[in-house]
Amino acid sequence: MISQNPRKLPVRRFPGQLAQPPSLIGMKRGRAGRSISAPELQCRSPGCHQVISLPSRSEHCSSDDGNETTSADEKIAAQHNSLLGSQLSPAQAIDLQQLLRERFSCWSDGIEYTAPPEDRLLPRKRFKALQWDSGLSRAEEEEDSEEEFVVVSHPECKKAFLHLACPFFINAPEKYQQCLFKDDFDSIETLIKHLLRHHNRPLYCPTCRKTFRTLIDRDDHALENACKRNAKAQLDGLTESQKAKLIKRDRYYLGEATRWSCIWSTVFPDSEQPQSPYLDDGNGLSASMVRDFWTADGQRVISDFLAGKDIPTDGNNAAYHTICHTALATLMDWVFKQDSRSSSLTSNG
């Protein structure tokens, strides 16, 4: 069972934090809670805002030496830099990456992530900023402001709800780490859509359990009648029956955590329920923080940066979308590396 009481997570810090956090922009999520009659795989509304899907990666690795990165990380970083370099000059790309890192480090300083209350049914904002409560009435504050006092500003108290996790990622984090890059789950509805879109069971031979990309390949294999029975091979992904159950069994009034537990029971009926349905540690929490920063402040930072360089920032501009897409992926790579280095230093210390 998931605890009803939100739990406070450790404050996350990154190198290069600024003295003062930038102002935050509020965000609204799409309305959740309606029943899904069929998988809605495309957003057709003119004003629809979709979560940016990042390039898929099987895993993020770190070497034994905290000052070195693996060849896989270097290759990915080179690809991202190449994409940014095709839209910006090398100096501009470096400046943008550094700016985003500084803003994220400042934004993430002191933020607290908690599990949403189980009985919460209304759509919510994943991230909210609560101003410091000085304890004075407005009249007293205005009166004091007229005097010649040195004003000491208090930092914002930033709180956010944990993001939902993909059951496949919870079951096998290393194998399904790319789920962190594909989607951000702000509701049970978006999670179900992700499962229907990205976790189909592949075509396979019922005898040897070999998988195939096309029906023709599978049928040709079956006609050869040369394979041997293999009952031990495990097949990942959802069957058609499981996909139907995901939609049919979902009940909005049950609450978010209970609905997620029902999804787990459908996807992994023979496995024990996890302690939490949320991304509450490791790369999962880091990915959630990056996405919250991106929604609250990241895209505005890019727009302001490009405007200062006289680069078009029209939302329909292909170059702008490429810059945003690549900058987000690059920032997430950097945050993951910081986490890996911090973990390495902690274990060695």
What pLDDT is attached to residue 84?
62
Q: Domain residue spans in the chain?
A: 69-134+154-163+278-341, 183-201+238-277, 202-235
pLDDT band (50, 70, 90) for residue 225: confident
What pLDDT is attached to residue 79?
53
The position carrying tokens 């003295």 is 19
Encoding tokens for residue 265? 């029971």
What average pLDDT score do residues 78-82 get?
A: 54
Long-range contacts of 94-98 (CB under 8 A, 24+ apart): 95/305, 96/302, 96/305, 96/323, 96/327, 97/327, 97/330, 97/331, 97/334
- The model's pTM: 0.66
Encoding tokens for residue 202? 């592949």
- pLDDT higher than 80, residue 27: no
pLDDT band (50, 70, 90) for residue 196: very high
| Whole-number Å distance between alpha carbons of 96 and 88 | 9
What average pLDDT score do residues 279-297 get?
A: 94
pLDDT digits (tens, 9 = 90+) for 119-160: 655 445 555 443 333 343 434 444 444 445 454 444 566 789
DSSP string, 228-268: ---SS----SB-HHHHHHHHHH--GGG-HHHHHHHHHHHH-
H, E, C per residue of 96-145: HHHHHHHHHHHHHCCCEEECCCCCCCCCCCCEEEECCCCCCCHHHHHHHH
